Amino acid sequence: MKTKVREILIKESKGTFSIFSKQKISKEDYNFEGISALRKLFSNEKARILDVVKYKDPKSMYDLAKILERPFKAVFDDIKLLQRFGFVDLLKEKTKKRIRFRPVISADHLIIDIKI
């Protein structure tokens, strides 16, 4: 697997933190509301998802939800957030008449830079 680095910059601005990536995506795409939003991105459940995706290699989103013993909708929402920030990719695979999406890890490192 290729090593990719995702960098998130947290910057103090007039008494509040604004969070954005150094990639060519605007701050508005992330729709963050300070540090509490960052906590949601790095919750224990999201850490579990990343661990399962990396080490148990689920074959689909449904398989991931079964392994985690969580509702499919909750896992789907968490995966979409992780995908949005570049931590997970969804690979499209065709099996018989169905198309499924297999989650895979897309970043090995995370850098968080806080400027005060």
d(CA 64, CA 49): 8
d(CA 79, CA 61): 9
| Number of domain units in the chain | 1
What does the pLDDT read at residue 83?
87
Please answer whether residues 113 and 12 qualify as being in contact, where contact means their C-beta atoms are separated by less than 8 angstroms: no
Mean pLDDT, range 7-27, rounded to an integer: 53
- Give the range among 30-34, 53-57, 58-62 with minimum mean pLDDT: 30-34
Question: What is the residue range of 95's domain?
Answer: 5-115
Mean pLDDT, range 12-20, rounded to an integer: 52
d(CA 74, CA 67): 13
pLDDT tens, 65-104? 999 999 999 999 999 988 887 789 999 998 888 899 999 9
* CATH code of residue 89: 1.10.10.10
Percent of the chain residues past pLDDT 90, beyond the cut: 39
d(CA 73, CA 83): 15
pLDDT band at 28 (very low <50, low <70, confident <90, very high): very low
Does residue 39 carry a pLDDT above 80? no
